[in-house]
Structure 1
Amino acid sequence: MRARRFRGGRSNSLATRLFLSATAWVVVILLITGVVLSSVYRSASERAFDRRLNLYLRTLIAEVATPDEPLDRQFQSLGEPLFDLPLSGWYWEIVRTDPEKKEIRASRSLWDKKLPKLEDQGIELSSSGVRVGYVDGPEGQTLRMVERPVDLGTDGKFRVTVAGDATEIFDETRTFDYYLGGTFAALTIVLVLTTIFQVRFGLAPLKRISDAIADIRSGRAERLEGEFPVEIAPLARETNALIDANREIVERARTHVGNLAHAVKTPLSVIINEANARERDPFAAKVLEQAEVMRNQVVHHLERARIAARLTVVATVTDVAPVIEALRRTMEKIHRDRAIAIAVDASTAAKFRGERQDLEEMAGNLVDNACKWARSRVLIKVSVPPVAGAGPAMLHIVVDDDGSGLSDAERMQASQRGRRLDETKPGSGLGLSIVTDLAALYDGSLTLGSAPIGGLRAELVLPAA
Structure 2
Amino acid sequence: MRNSSLATRLFLSATAWVVVILLLTGIVLSSVYRSATERAFDRRLNLYLRTLVAEVANPPDTPDHDTPSLGEPLFELPLSGWYWEIAPTEGAKTEMRASRSLWDKKLPKLEDQGVELTASGIRQGYVDGPEDQRLRMVERPVDLGADGKFRISVAGDATEIFEETRTFDYYLGGTFAALSIVLVLTTIFQVRFGLAPLKRMSDAIADIRSGRAERLEGTFPVEISPLAGEMNALLDANRAIVERARTHVGNLAHAIKTPLSVIVNEANSRGVDPFASKVLEQADVMRDQVTHHLERARIAARVTIVGTVTDVAPALEALCRTMQKIHRDRGITIDLEADAAAKFRGEKQDIEEMVGNLVDNACKWADSHVTIGVQVERTGGADPASKLRIIVDDDGRGLSDTERAQVARRGQRLDETKPGSGLGLSIVVDLAALYGGSLTLSKAPIGGLRAELVLPGV
TM class by shorter-chain length?
0.7 to 0.9
Task: Give the aligned partner of residue 328 of structure 1.
Answer: 320
Task: Give the aligned partner of residue 375 of structure 2.
Answer: 384
Task: Give the aligned partner of residue 160 of structure 1.
Answer: 152
Aligned residue for 1:384, secondary structure, equals strand
Which residue, 405, 409, 433 being the options, matches 1:412?
Answer: 405
Aligned residue for 1:193, secondary structure, equals helix
Which residue, 185, 188, 194 being the options, matches 2:177?
Answer: 185
Is 1:398 paired with 2:391? yes
Structure 1 residues 107 and 323 mapped into 2: Cα distance closer, same or farther (>3 Å)?
same
Task: Give the aligned partner of residue 121 of structure 1.
Answer: 114
Which residue, 200, 213, 217 being the options, matches 1:208?
Answer: 200
Are 1:123 and 1:133, in contact at CA under 8 Å, matched by a contact in 2?
Answer: no
Q: Comparing 368-377 with 433-442, which one deviates more in the overlay? A: 368-377
Q: Give CA-to-partner distance per residue, 1:256-281, whole Å, 9 cap, x none.
A: 33334444555555556666677988
Task: Give the aligned partner of residue 239 of structure 1.
Answer: 231
Are 1:118 and 1:133, in contact at CA under 8 Å, matched by a contact in 2?
Answer: no
* Shift in Å, 1:211: 1.1
Is 1:439 paired with 2:432? yes
Structure 1 residues 412 and 113 mapped into 2: Cα distance closer, same or farther (>3 Å)?
same
Task: Give the aligned partner of residue 4 of structure 1.
Answer: none
TM value normalised by structure 1: 0.84
Are 1:145 and 1:164, in contact at CA under 8 Å, matched by a contact in 2?
Answer: yes
* Shift in Å, 1:229: 1.7
Is 1:218 paired with 2:213? no
Task: Give the aligned partner of residue 131 of structure 1.
Answer: 123
* Shift in Å, 1:116: 0.5
Aligned residue for 2:59, secondary structure, equals coil
* Shift in Å, 1:220: 0.5
Aligned counterparts, 1:68-83, within 5 A: 68-83=60-75
Task: Give the aligned partner of residue 369 of structure 1.
Answer: 361
Task: Give the aligned partner of residue 313 of structure 1.
Answer: 305
**In structure 2, how many angstroms separate the alpha carbons of the residues matched to 1:136 and 1:452?**
92
* Shift in Å, 1:162: 0.9
Is 1:428 paired with 2:421? yes
Q: Give CA-to-partner distance per residue, 1:11-44, whole Å, 9 cap, x none.
A: xx10111011001101101110110111011112
Structure 1 residues 40 and 188 mapped into 2: Cα distance closer, same or farther (>3 Å)?
same
User: Aligned letter for 2:217?
Assistant: E
* Shift in Å, 1:405: 3.1
Which residue, 343, 347, 371 being the options, matches 1:355?
Answer: 347
Unpaired segments ≥5 residues, structure 1? 1-6
User: Aligned letter for 1:405?
Assistant: G
Are 1:63 and 1:74, in contact at CA under 8 Å, matched by a contact in 2?
Answer: no
Are 2:408 and 2:426, in contact at CA under 8 Å, matched by a contact in 1?
Answer: yes
Aligned residue for 2:195, secondary structure, equals helix
**In structure 2, how many angstroms separate the alpha carbons of the residues matched to 1:443 and 1:71?**
112
Is 1:29 paired with 2:21? yes
* Shift in Å, 1:181: 2.9
Are 1:315 and 1:355, in contact at CA under 8 Å, matched by a contact in 2?
Answer: no
User: Aligned letter for 1:464?
Assistant: G
Structure 1 residues 265 and 275 mapped into 2: Cα distance closer, same or farther (>3 Å)?
same
Structure 1 residues 363 and 117 mapped into 2: Cα distance closer, same or farther (>3 Å)?
closer
Structure 1 residues 59 and 343 mapped into 2: Cα distance closer, same or farther (>3 Å)?
same
Structure 1 residues 8 and 68 mapped into 2: Cα distance closer, same or farther (>3 Å)?
closer
**In structure 2, how many angstroms separate the alpha carbons of the residues matched to 1:205 and 1:221?**
17
Are 2:26 and 2:172, in contact at CA under 8 Å, matched by a contact in 1?
Answer: yes
Structure 1 residues 132 and 269 mapped into 2: Cα distance closer, same or farther (>3 Å)?
farther
User: Aligned letter for 1:90?
Assistant: W
**In structure 1, how many angstroms separate the alpha carbons of the residues matched to 2:131 and 2:341?**
88
Are 1:372 and 1:425, in contact at CA under 8 Å, matched by a contact in 2?
Answer: yes
CA-based RMSD of the aligned residues comes to 3.3
Which residue, 42, 58, 82 being the options, matches 1:66?
Answer: 58
Are 1:115 and 1:138, in contact at CA under 8 Å, matched by a contact in 2?
Answer: no
Report the count of equivalent residues.
455
